[in-house]
Amino acid sequence: MGDSVHLQQVLLNLVLNALDAIGESPTDTRKVAVLARRLGGSNVEVSVSDSGVGIAPDKLAQLFEPFFTTKPNGMGIGLSISRTIIEAHGGRIWAENNAGGGATFRFTLPVAAREGSA
Ligand SMILES: Nc1ncnc2c1ncn2[C@@H]1O[C@H](COP(=O)(O)OP(=O)(O)OP(=O)(O)O)[C@@H](O)[C@H]1O
Ligand SMILES: [Mg+2]
């Protein structure tokens, strides 16, 4: 159960950021992967991974702050809004660097109990 427009916005923000991150890479090395999986318990996890520039380790904590941007034309609000939306749905969102380069953004969401059960 969730606000589909808001959740769509989160996914769009993450994919657009991933596309920005791979923008300077040679065409044949550009990769973006979107995965969804069921976690143990009653949560789902969605991840958006890219083969881009990655995140400076000292900036990992700041990315989700409003108006933090490293882009000349960035507003720095995409991730801040995304965090607000995910937390409003009872989930978490965070970023990590990939071992092989690039970054992965993940969010979790609780799965609603089926109508009539629980
Ligand atoms: N996939 C990524 N790889 C590397 N850095 C990223 C990635 N996604 C986000 N970032 C960093 O986090 C910052 C904040 O992202 P956020 O989406 O909040 O704002 P933005 O993309 O700069 O602007 P906008 O408001 O248009 O989305 C980016 O400027 C960039 O430095
Ligand atoms: Mg953005």
Each residue's pLDDT tens digit in the chain (118 positions)? 899 999 999 999 999 999 999 999 999 999 999 999 999 889 999 999 999 999 999 999 899 999 999 999 999 999 999 999 999 999 999 999 999 999 999 999 999 877 765 5
Identify whether the C-beta of residue 66 lies closer than 8 Å to the C-beta of residue 85.
Answer: no
Ligand 1 atom at shortest distance from the alpha carbon of 63: 12
What is the per-residue pLDDT for 115?
72
What is the per-residue pLDDT for 10?
98
Q: Give this prediction's pTM.
A: 0.94
Testing ligand 1's pocket by substitution, the residue of 71, 83, 104 carrying the most ligand atoms inside 8 A of its CB is 71
List, chain by chain if needed, residues with CB within 6 Å of any ligand 1 atom: 13, 17-18, 21, 50, 52-55, 63, 68-71, 74-80, 103
**Single-letter amino acid, residue 71:** K
Angstrom distances, CA of residue 78 to CA of 16, 42, 66, 105, 117: 9, 27, 8, 13, 36
Q: Give pLDDT tens digits for 80-99.
A: 999 999 999 999 999 999 99
What is the per-residue pLDDT for 112?
86
The two tokens of residue 52 are 């881009």
Testing ligand 1's pocket by substitution, the residue of 24, 31, 69 carrying the most ligand atoms inside 8 A of its CB is 69
CA–centroid distance, residue 4 to ligand 1 (Å)? 22
What is the per-residue pLDDT for 101?
96
Give, as one character, the DSSP assignment of residue 27: G
In sequence order, what are the beta bridge partners of 108? Answer: 45, 92
CA–centroid distance, residue 117 to ligand 1 (Å)? 40
Give, as one character, the DSSP assignment of residue 113: P
The closest ligand to the CA of 68 turns out to be: 1
What is the per-residue pLDDT for 117?
57
